[in-house]
């Protein structure tokens, strides 16, 4: 197991510690060789991510068949999959061609919510599992298990490989404007220094024109080489600088933008404004598939060695659902997992590097505080357990500073957890919000029957 996974349960304690203690502990931790921090799997996946770009189609096909067979065999040991595979008449031991995967049943988010514990491979005990939750991009909360010593080192290696396409090097100074909570107060601090990674963590919750000078001062003092941000946060920063005339007195090497949709127009604007290249990518907490812009194209290309991607039937607009099967997580493989995200394909090739021009959805959705702060729902949707046990969550807002959270309980939900959910949400929203919680039998859906993460009556722009 990696040291990173061993210490993961202490992460919140580290983040809550005073800055001098964080800096001291972080620098000591960063001095440990990465092979020890992340474990041997990290080096393996570093090499794999570097080498796969040189593989031919046949080499990729052989790798994917072997990886899929391993995932299917591991899944078949779990009661849920064993029953589903038997009912479908499939046998992982006979898996010999990519085309055979279509015979296996699809997996939904509801399956994860209702049958998670029955999907765990019993050959792995609790010490080898890492429990992760996500609110879900469509408002459906999901909890699942990763493989300790494998899943997170793999993710780190592949992210670094992607970022290197725009000049990133391990150890570079990075400013981060994503979902980090620096203060639960509207007037609280905007940043802290994470010495474990040489990153300056800036709040995406406090980024307003009034407080922009604090962000500029912090950035100019730290002088990062890269800005790792939600696209919405990067756009807010750029628009704010443009409107106020404030300036950064250093040049960025790159902007690293994930977790939200980034339009071609927004990317062009950000690249021109900051004078730096952008690396945009698509991924999700479940670690099933991963795609990123290539060295020469702004289209998203799916890594063939990270997981196996399929695409559902086209909808009326030609968009197709992303369906993924995970590699390497033998604790809880996800087989033909319906992500709920849709993409526009630019090629039909399932082997090699499947390419999409854009991932549809994941729009910029905001809650607005009484003081005018805009809180990205992507930030609210960070990984913790406040939504664990719920079937769906939906936010409703018709007045600034007042938010109603409707939640649909699942069979594992315990009513006494409502207090913890309120506390967790208010910590992220801040003290200039009034929060109402309401239990519902079913949250509001679109005409197509899809969950909506936010219903707002506010006349706010969805894009900066």
Q: Is the model's pLDDT at 214 over the cut of 90?
A: yes
Average pLDDT over residues 298-326: 93
Give the CATH number of domain 366-456. Answer: 3.30.300.30
As a whole number of angstroms, the distance between CA 294 and CA 156 comes to 18
As a whole number of angstroms, the distance between CA 435 and CA 344 comes to 37
Tell which residue, 345, 372, 367, has the closest CA to residue 356. 345
pLDDT at site 291: 97
Which band of pLDDT confidence, cut at 50, 70 and 90, is reported for residue 352?
confident
pLDDT at site 224: 98
Number of neighbours of residue 117 by Cβ within 10 angstroms: 13
Q: Which of 89-98, 128-137, 207-216, 298-307 has the lowest mean pLDDT?
A: 128-137
pLDDT at site 151: 95
DSSP labels, 204-270: SSS--TTTHHHHHHHHHHH--SEEEE-HHHHHHHHHHHHHH----SS--SEEEE-SS---HHHHHHH
In this structure, the strands spanning 454-456 and 390-399 are parallel
pLDDT at site 382: 57
Q: What three-state secondary structure class fits 393?
A: strand
Q: What is the pLDDT of residues 28-37, one digit of tens each?
A: 888 888 878 8
Tell which residue, 237, 235, 167, 172, has the closest CA to residue 202. 237
Number of neighbours of residue 290 by Cβ within 10 angstroms: 26
pLDDT at site 462: 40
Task: Decide if domain 41-153+285-360 falls under CATH 3.40.50.12780.
Answer: yes
For the chain, give the percent of residues with pLDDT over 70.
93
Question: 409 Cβ partners below 8 Å, 6+ apart?
Answer: 389, 390, 391, 415, 439
pLDDT at site 138: 55
Higher pLDDT, 181 or 230: 230
pLDDT at site 10: 79
Do 433 and 401 contact (CB within 8 A), yes or no? yes
28: part of which helix (H) or strand (E)?
helix 19-30
Q: Which of 133-137, 156-160, 339-343 has the lowest mean pLDDT?
A: 133-137
Question: 40 Cβ partners below 8 Å, 6+ apart?
Answer: none
Higher pLDDT, 445 or 326: 326
CA angle, residues 361, 364, 365, in degrees to nearest 5: 100
In this structure, the strands spanning 454-456 and 191-194 are unpaired
Whether this model's pTM surpasses 0.85: no
Which band of pLDDT confidence, cut at 50, 70 and 90, is reported for residue 363?
low
Q: Where are the beta strands (DSSP E) in 16-128?
A: none
Q: Strand pairing partners for 343?
A: 320, 359
Q: Is the model's pLDDT at 139 over the cut of 70?
A: no
Do 227 and 252 contact (CB within 8 A), yes or no? yes
Question: 147 Cβ partners below 8 Å, 6+ apart?
Answer: 124, 128, 129, 130, 328, 329, 330, 331, 332
Which band of pLDDT confidence, cut at 50, 70 and 90, is reported for residue 464?
very low
Tell which residue, 51, 59, 155, has the closest CA to residue 351. 59
pLDDT at site 380: 73
Torsion from C-alpha of 130, 34, 291, 237, nearest 10 degrees = 100
Average pLDDT over residues 14-42: 85
Q: Is the model's pLDDT at 182 over the cut of 90?
A: no
Q: Is the model's pLDDT at 126 over the cut of 90?
A: yes
Which band of pLDDT confidence, cut at 50, 70 and 90, is reported for residue 411?
confident
Average pLDDT over residues 143-171: 95
Domain boundaries, the chain: 41-153+285-360, 366-456
Q: Is the model's pLDDT at 3 over the cut of 50?
A: yes
Q: Is the model's pLDDT at 463 over the cut of 50?
A: no
Average pLDDT over residues 420-425: 89
pLDDT at site 133: 81
DSSP labels, 312-348: ----TTS-EEEEEEESS--SS---SEEEEEEEEES--
Do 438 and 405 contact (CB within 8 A), yes or no? yes
For the chain, give the percent of residues with pLDDT over 90.
55
Average pLDDT over residues 64-85: 98
CA angle, residues 334, 338, 342, in degrees to nearest 5: 135
pLDDT at site 168: 97
pLDDT at site 34: 81
As a whole number of angstroms, the distance between CA 101 and CA 105 comes to 9
Which band of pLDDT confidence, cut at 50, 70 and 90, is reported for residue 384?
low
Tell which residue, 408, 420, 390, has the closest CA to residue 445. 408
Which band of pLDDT confidence, cut at 50, 70 and 90, is reported for residue 459?
low
Higher pLDDT, 263 or 92: 92
**How high does pLDDT run on average in the chain?**
88
């Amino acid at each position: 197991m990696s040291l990173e996974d061993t210490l993961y349960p202490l992460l919140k304690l580290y983040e809550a510690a005073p800055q001098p203690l964080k800096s001291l502990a972080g620098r000591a931790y960063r001095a440990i060789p990465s092979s020890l921090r992340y474990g041997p799997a990290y080096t393996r996946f570093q090499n794999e991510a570097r080498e796969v770009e040189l593989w031919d189609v046949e080499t990729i096909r052989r790798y994917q068949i072997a990886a899929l067979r391993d995932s299917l065999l591991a899944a078949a040991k779990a009661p849920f999959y064993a029953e589903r595979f038997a009912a479908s008449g499939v046998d992982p031991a006979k898996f010999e061609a990519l085309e055979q995967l279509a015979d296996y049943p699809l997996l939904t988010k509801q399956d994860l919510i209702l049958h998670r514990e029955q999907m765990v491979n019993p050959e792995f005990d609790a010490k080898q599992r890492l429990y992760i939750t996500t609110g879900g991009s469509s408002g459906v909360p999901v909890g699942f298990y990763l493989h300790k010593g494998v899943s997170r080192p793999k993710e780190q290696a592949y992210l670094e490989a992607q970022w290197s396409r725009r000049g990133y090097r391990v150890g570079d100074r990075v400013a981060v404007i994503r979902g980090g909570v620096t203060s639960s107060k509207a007037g609280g601090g905007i940043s802290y220094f994470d010495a474990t990674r040489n990153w300056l963590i800036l709040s995406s919750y406090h980024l307003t024109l009034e407080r922009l000078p604090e962000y500029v001062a912090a950035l100019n003092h730290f002088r990062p080489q890269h800005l790792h941000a939600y696209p919405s946060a990067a756009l807010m920063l750029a628009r704010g600088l443009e409107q106020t005339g404030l300036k950064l007195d250093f040049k960025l090497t790159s902007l690293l933008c994930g977790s939200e949709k980034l339009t071609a127009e927004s990317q062009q604007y950000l690249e021109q404004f900051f004078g730096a290249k952008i690396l945009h990518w698509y991924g999700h907490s479940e670690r099933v598939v991963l795609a990123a812009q290539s060295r020469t194209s702004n289209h998203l290309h799916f890594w063939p060695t990270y997981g196996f991607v399929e695409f559902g039937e086209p909808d009326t607009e030609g968009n197709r659902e992303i369906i993924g099967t995970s590699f390497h997580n033998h604790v809880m493989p996800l087989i033909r997992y319906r992500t709920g995200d849709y993409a526009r394909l630019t090629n039909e090739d399932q082997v090699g590097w499947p390419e999409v021009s854009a991932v549809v959805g994941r729009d910029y959705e905001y809650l607005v505080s009484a003081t005018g702060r805009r809180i990205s729902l992507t930030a609210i949707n960070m990984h913790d357990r406040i939504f664990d046990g719920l079937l769906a969550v939906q936010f409703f807002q018709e007045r600034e500073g007042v938010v109603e959270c409707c939640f649909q309980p699942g069979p594992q939900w315990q009513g006494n957890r409502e207090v913890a959910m309120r506390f967790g949400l208010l910590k992220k929203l801040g003290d200039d919000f009034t929060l109402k919680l309401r239990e519902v039998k079913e949250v509001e859906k679109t005409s197509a029957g899809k969950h909506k993460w936010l219903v707002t009556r506010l006349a706010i722009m969805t894009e900066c």
